[in-house]
Chains A and B, each alone.
Chain A
Amino acid sequence: MHLANTTSVKFSMSQSTLGISVKGLTCRRDDRGLFRNLDFDLKPGQALQIEGPNGSGKTTILRILCGLTLPTEGEVFWNGLPIEENRLEYLTAMDFIGHAHGIKSELTPLENLQVAMAMANAQPNQSLKAVLEQVGLRGFEDVPAITLSAGQCRRVALGRLLLSKSLLWILDEPFTALDVQGQAQVETMMVDHVEQGGMVILTSHHPLALKDGMLKTINLRP
């Protein structure tokens, strides 16, 4: 415990260390620089929108933030500690929905959510059926996901967010494949989450209806 304290002091951010912060993040792919010396921090109650043209490294940033990909240089900190050092705490507090959202097409939406809950070691705070109804999948609980449309599958993945108590949501293009009503619902979900003290990091070009000071934007230029 004493050791952990000294490291947190060593890596402490300028103000409070709560939340996620990134220092000097640089990523090169095949001798091509994607981004360099990226610094930002995000505190509870804030959202970060990453913008940029295709191929500018938006997805790569998100994968680095999750700890799936290693950056060429730089480090990601969670509550003041590098994410490799407090991996368990970080993974408990974080939820990632990537471009491939991890919904098994042979399983039903209900089974998919059950697996996701066991993986996250989370006790659902509401019934899985209620969540599926909330994301507009009433009547589709027990059909294989392969018969659902791309947008409906994404809704199942978003249902995972409603069930989890994660503080930080990392979402790669969350509006993809959703209809207008679905997009509005996702936006409401994110705004609610941020207003309740959560954090959202997303890649999208969709403007978010958040108050000033709650939304940060990063633009990646190639």
Chain B
Amino acid sequence: MSEASLSNAFFTILKRDLTLAYRTRTEMVNPLLFFIIVISLFPLAVSPDPVVLRSLAPGVIWVAALLATLLSLDSMFRSDFDDGALEQMLLSVHPVSVLVLGKVLAHWLVTGIPLLLLAPLLAILMHMPSSSVPALMITLALGGPILSLVGAIGVALTVGLRRGGVLLSLLVLPLYIPVLIFAANAVSNAAAGLAIAGQLYFLGALLAMSLTLAPLATAAALRISLR
């Protein structure tokens, strides 16, 4: 099989999922609204004091981004599972992991990128110093794809269960913790004027690892789920 047909299949899946997301865009807005609401509640509930908010900001924004991603994960394979498109994907002549990568990329473009673009706005709301906003953006750019890639494994494992929501969080959240620690720490360090290269290298390494291994694991998990 030629590389051209494989990349054609990859881009077909990507385009298909982006079209689907565009046509069901009201569902796409939910995680974004969740992200905004959770963060905007903190100044009301904790304290409007800029000093307090500034120290909380990196952690709060990252936890909210993580939970918003978790909220959006289930849609990745759900409708495909229900209407049989997932079976057709598994019976495709192309490697399932490549098709999965197309789906994950579409998921990140549809949920990860909007979170990334909204983050500076919410950083201002949380009185984050402007020097740490680039760090926040970089960590979201490196960490967001990891959340989608690792989340895909969890969704693939739970898609056959009727109520897999709780199980999904239990499976996926422990795997998200390293990302959360390095990312929030990088943003805090940037605010304090310290170096953040170390944390970014770790995030980059995690991204490289999940980019290469997660699609394979997801493909295997899908086969098990459809059995």
Contacts and interface: CB of A to CB of B under 8 A. Distances in A.
B227 A104 contact: no
Given A91-B92, A119-B9, A96 B87 contact: yes
A104 B83 contact: yes
A164 to B, nearest CB: 11
A103 B47 CA distance: 51
A68 B23 contact: no
Given A106-B23, A107-B19, A119 B87 contact: no
Contacts of A70: 227
Contacts of A118: 8-9, 12-13
A114 to B, nearest CB: 7
Q: Range of interface residues on chain A?
A: 20 to 34
B84 A101 contact: yes
Interface residues of B, number: 27
Interface of A is mostly: loop
Given A68-B227, A70-B227, A104-B20, A120 B92 contact: yes
Which of B8, B84, B92, B99 has the most C-beta atoms of chain A within 10 angstroms of its own C-beta? Answer: B84
Given A104-B85, A107-B16, A107-B20, A121 B91 contact: no
B16 A102 contact: no
B9 A106 contact: no
Interface string B4-30: 010011001100100110011000000
Nearest to A94: B91
A103 B227 contact: no
Which of A98, A99, A106, A116 has the most C-beta atoms of chain B within 10 angstroms of its own C-beta? Answer: A106
B79 to A, nearest CB: 8
A66 B83 CA distance: 17
Interface in B162-207: none
Interface in B106-163: none
A26 interface: no
Interface of B is mostly: helix
Nearest to A153: B83
B184 to A, nearest CB: 37
Contacts of B5: 121
Contacts, number: 80
Contacts of A121: 1, 5, 9, 92-94
Interface string A76-113: 00000000000010011010101111111111000100
A101 B5 CA distance: 23
B83 A102 contact: yes
A69 interface: yes
A87 B94 CA distance: 11
Given A94-B91, A107-B20, A121-B9, A100 B227 contact: no
Given A100-B82, A105-B83, A119-B12, A88 B19 contact: no
B51 interface: no
Nearest to B85: A102
B221 interface: no
B33 interface: no
A144 B19 CA distance: 12
Given A96-B87, A106-B19, 12 more contacts: A69-B227, A88-B1, A88-B93, A94-B91, A98-B84, A102-B85, A103-B83, A104-B20, A111-B19, A118-B8, A118-B9, A121-B92
27 contacts: A66-B91, A67-B91, A68-B87, A68-B226, A69-B226, A88-B1, A88-B93, A92-B93, A96-B91, A98-B87, A99-B84, A100-B83, A100-B84, A102-B83, A104-B20, A104-B79, A106-B23, A107-B20, A111-B19, A118-B8, A118-B9, A118-B12, A118-B13, A119-B12, A119-B88, A119-B99, A121-B1
Interface of A: 66-70, 88, 91-92, 94, 96, 98-107, 111, 114-116, 118-121, 144
Shortest Cβ-Cβ A-B pairs, 10 listed: A100-B84, A118-B12, A102-B84, A119-B92, A102-B88, A106-B23, A102-B85, A121-B5, A121-B93, A91-B93
